[in-house]
Amino acid sequence: MNITKKDIDKLNAVITVEISKDDYAGKVEKVLSDYRKNANIPGFRKGHVPMGMVKKQYGKAVLVEEVNKLLQDALHKFLTEEKLDVLGNPLPKNEADINWDADDYSFEFELGLAPDFNVDVKGNEVLQYKIVADEEMLNNQVKTIRKQYGKLISKNEVEKGDEITGTFTSSEKEIEKKTTLSTEDIAGKSQLESLMGAKVGDMVSLNTKGMFADDHDNQKYFGVAHDDAHGLDIAVSFKIEEVNKREMAELNQELFDKLFGEGVVTSEEELKKKIKEDAEGQFAQQSDQKLLNDVVDSLIENTKFDLPDAFLQRWIAVSGEKKLSEEDAKAEYERSEKGLRYQLIEGKLRAENNLQVTFDELKEYSKNMIKAQMAQFGQNNPTDEELESIAARILSNKEEVQRLSEQLNTNKLLNYFKENAKLKTKEVTYDKFVKEAYA
């Protein structure tokens, strides 16, 4: 057997595998001999079928199978030993021209080679958001807590700040939705005026247009579909069934203990500090995800290299369950090219900076996750034996291993970017972050 590689250019090559009769003859003879021993052919005792008959019936199929086995093993070994970084899989080039009646065979395969390139994470500045909980947000959170733990006082007439329970109806959109809303939820001036002074049992006519600041609230309060919620402009009737005034809870030690446990918070100042810590901890996750997305986009845009486009389009055309037309394969390649580029960039970063996840890291990560979950249920001091036992059970599940590996891989990459990328930090409130990041 002889294998050679001919470079077409830096991204394309052809491998030729030459297989002679000496390479496969012994294997074919052995398989046919086994067939002969076990063949059940009418007129012959088992094991006494003439070899000529066996070869005539099975010879060509066995030959093709054994040669293909040799071929695949040789290809795999060659690619591994030569350390060729290929994209996709080798594509047969002369498959239709093989003469299986000959003794010797020559197979050609096209290769798409991964490009050689450098990744510079410091080359382009990326904005990193630091989301802070400002005083307005903290005051609103305190107000929300006081409302949530306050008392409801039943009333008969609607006044500003009250909570109203009732049913919206409309024949036009087939609405019949019972809901509870506060007058503070209503942004429309005319709708608010129509409700002021209304009494339990009254039927109030309202228009949905501009009733709420966010059209998505139309889903919540009217029960309409998402597509109908945007720009909803219809007349609805609102039957008032209950009116309540919410008396806000006092900020005292009883409330603090109920919220955070005995003695953890002892003043409004400490309450705001705790709210700020918790909120900014959650904000950090969103900021990190935004940073990761932006660094990835920057790397894809600014890391320049060519790909074996024509080869990859041919490979896409034949690699799926259903063969694609040239036009469909080209379209599919254009859709997947950005992802392929990032796979190559990420692979290079991981290989050059030792960012691969080891089993020991995965085990430690799972133990820390278990410890955090147990703490939520008041189990703050699990033994190492307990953690080891639970971690072993989790890591015996392939799906869990994959999920945790993806999380840890993402964390390692994110930390690498934070330490090495050229970042510009911008401090913003959460509302401003949402407007800027997801505009």
Domain locations in the chain as residue ranges: 2-113, 151-247, 267-437
Among the listed residues 213, 123, 204, 127, the one whose alpha carbon sits nearest the alpha carbon of residue 169: 204
pLDDT given for residue 136 in this prediction: 93
The three-state secondary structure class of 180 is strand
pLDDT given for residue 372 in this prediction: 87
Q: Which CATH class is domain 151-247?
A: alpha beta
Residue 88 Ramachandran class (φ > 0 left, ψ -120 to 50 alpha, else beta): left
Residue type, 286: Q
The second-level CATH assignment, the architecture, of 2-113 is 2-Layer Sandwich (3.30)
Judged on CB neighbours under 10 Å (0-12, 13-18, 19+), 108 is middle
Among the listed residues 289, 350, 279, the one whose alpha carbon sits nearest the alpha carbon of residue 128: 289
The three-state secondary structure class of 292 is helix
Separation of alpha carbons 382 and 347, rounded Å = 37
Phi first, then psi, for residue 103 (nearest 5°) are -90, -35
Separation of alpha carbons 172 and 151, rounded Å = 37
Q: Which residue, chain included where needed, has tokens 């401090």?
A: 427
Spatial contact of 132 and 429, defined as CB atoms under 8 Å apart: yes
The Cα angle at residue 190 between residues 188 and 192, in degrees rounded to 5: 70
* CATH number, domain 267-437: 1.10.3120
Digitized pLDDT (tens) for each residue of the chain, 439 residues in all: 999 999 999 999 999 999 999 999 999 999 888 878 777 777 677 776 788 877 888 889 999 999 999 999 999 999 999 999 999 999 999 888 899 999 999 999 999 999 999 999 998 999 999 999 999 999 999 999 999 999 999 999 999 999 999 999 999 999 999 999 999 999 999 999 999 999 999 999 999 999 999 999 999 999 999 999 999 999 999 999 999 999 999 999 999 999 988 999 999 999 999 999 999 999 999 999 999 999 999 999 999 999 999 999 999 999 888 999 999 999 999 999 999 999 999 999 999 999 999 999 999 999 999 998 888 787 878 888 999 999 999 999 999 999 999 999 999 999 999 999 999 999 999 999 999 988 7
Complete edge-to-edge strand list for the sheet that includes strand 86-92: 2-7, 12-19, 105-113, 86-92
Residues 6+ apart with CB under 8 A from 426: 127, 128, 129, 130
> Which residues, listed in sequence order, are joined to residue 109 by a DSSP beta bridge?
15, 92
* Cβ neighbours, 10 Å, residue 360: 8
Residue type, 1: M
Q: At what angle do helices 268-302 and 430-437 cross, to 10 degrees?
A: 20
pLDDT given for residue 76 in this prediction: 94
Among the listed residues 188, 3, 12, the one whose alpha carbon sits nearest the alpha carbon of residue 87: 12
DSSP assigned state of 124: S
